[in-house]
Amino acid sequence: MISRVVLLAATTLWAGLAYAQAPGVEDLTEQWEAAYNNADASILAALYAEDAELHVPEGLIVGQEAIHAYWALDMGRDSPVTVLTVSRSERQEAVLVAEGNYRVLDRVSGDSLATGHFAHLWALVDGQWRLKRDACVNERFQSASTTKLR
């Protein structure tokens, strides 16, 4: 009986730790979503560091200007809405890492256009949080890549 109580307490503690978010990650995620969902490539690009890297299924995009151009083109395709769900985050002084899932939805119908996983590496740059590395893996692209390897 005691071992069950200890196991339950340990499991509950672990679950609490596993879902705890690093301070500030919710605000940063909301800023990213708001800029994207308002189709404001300039505000979105301003969240990235000058030397940031954006890893997308199409390839690697480096630098704030190139990232601005990429997101402006992406937003212009169908004017989608993106929802980020952070599943794990950690912060150590001036670095914050967040990872989770994303969904891209049609703005009008709400139909799913894409789903996948993302990882954000934020760093304090001149007192402001900036995205240094942004990586996303589209589940459709990942499935196609996995299939090719088999």
Q: Spell out the domains of the chain, with CATH numbers in brackets.
A: 2-149 (3.10.450.50)
Q: Are the C-beta atoms of residues 87 and 99 closer than 8 Å to each other? A: yes
Q: Are the C-beta atoms of residues 120 and 133 closer than 8 Å to each other? A: yes
Retrieve residue 117's tokens: 């996983």
Q: How far apart are CA 63 and CA 60, in angstroms?
A: 10
The reported pTM is 0.77
Mean pLDDT of each 10-residue bin along the chain, 150 residues long: 39 38 82 95 97 94 98 86 95 94 93 94 94 91 38
